[in-house]
Amino acid sequence: MSTEPFKNVIMLPQTNQLTGLYTIIRDQNTKRPDFIFYADRIIRLLVEEGLNHLPVQPRTVETSTNQKYEGVSFLGKICGVSIVRAGESMEQGLRECCRSVRIGKILIQRDEETAQPKLFFEKLPEDIAERYVFLLDPMLATGGSAAMATEVLIKRGVKPERIFFLNLICSKEGVDYYHSKFPGVKIVTGAVDPCLDENKYLVPGLGDFGDRYYCL
């Protein structure tokens, strides 16, 4: 698990707990119920870290002991946008942290003739341009699908600095490609793998996240 710094990549603290969680989900012998449980724990950490980077303003409240507490409140509204299907696995973690959060969806699949990503479907909140957006996809491999999804958001009026791309594992290649197109978008992740194999899977990776979460 790489801990090399990248500009605009926010890494989860590389604690023993986090390493233990990644050890479980990377293990090919981990059964589906355990994979889901521990992947969900990492997703929750990613959402919490993303929320740490949203802007706030001062707010004073009165406590039950009739004392004033100098706190903060969030500025602006947020929404989640999942890249279907694997990104949908991250929606519940966002809902657990943000009550009544709006969720949008983008479906991108690889064109079998060109091997390039192709946009098939999008459904986004009408006021998405006014929100901070958590773009959800568990893996950043080549960066093609993430880049296309980000282009959709920007065309709908979302400013790049209001987009946070949350994922469990990146490749260095994917980070470099994605930020060559969108240097202002922050990536929130827990691991950066060093390379891709000949099939464009992350190495060491964990296999196909969607299959392991939904099917196996």
Give the residue, 113 or 202, on which the prediction is more confident: 202
pLDDT given at position 25: 97
Choosing from 59, 110, 176, 197, which is the catalytic residue? 110
Is residue 2's pLDDT more than 50?
Answer: no
Choosing from 3, 63, 65, 114, which is the catalytic residue? 114
Those residues with Cβ within 8 angstroms of residue 151's Cβ, 6 or more apart along the chain or in another chain: none
Which strand ranges, in their side-by-side order, compose the sheet holding 117-123? 9-11, 186-189, 163-166, 131-136, 77-84, 102-110, 117-123
Give the residue, 66 or 112, on which the prediction is more confident: 66
Whether residue 95 lies in the annotated active site: no
Distances (CA, A) of 107 to 37, 83, 121, 146, 162: 25, 6, 5, 11, 21
Closest Cα partner for 6 from 205, 189, 200, 196?
189
First-residue to last-residue Cα distance in the chain: 25
What are residue 123's DSSP bridge partners? Answer: 105
Whether residue 41 lies in the annotated active site: no
The answer to whether 26 touches 204, Cβ cutoff 8 Å, is yes
Is residue 181's pLDDT more than 50?
Answer: yes
The answer to whether 119 touches 148, Cβ cutoff 8 Å, is yes
Whether residue 176 lies in the annotated active site: no
CATH architecture for segment(s) 9-57+72-214? 3-Layer(aba) Sandwich (3.40)
Q: Using 50, 70 and 90 to split pLDDT, how confident is the model at 109?
A: confident
**DSSP label of 129:** G
Whether residue 114 lies in the annotated active site: yes
**Average pLDDT rounded to a whole number, residues 119-139:** 95
Query: CB-hemisphere CA count at 13 Å for 17?
Result: 6
Query: In sequence order, what DSSP letters do the residues of 187-210 get, joined into one string?
Result: EEESEEESEE-TTS-EES--S-HH
Is residue 1's pLDDT more than 50?
Answer: no
Choosing from 34, 127, 176, 211, which is the catalytic residue? 211
| Pairing verdict, β 131-136 and 163-166 | parallel
Distances (CA, A) of 169 to 99, 141, 191, 216: 26, 8, 5, 20
Task: Look at 49-53, 55-59, 118-122, 145-149 and tell me which has the smallest mean pLDDT.
Answer: 118-122
pLDDT in tens, 14-31: 999 999 999 999 999 999
Predicted TM-score of the model (pTM)? 0.92
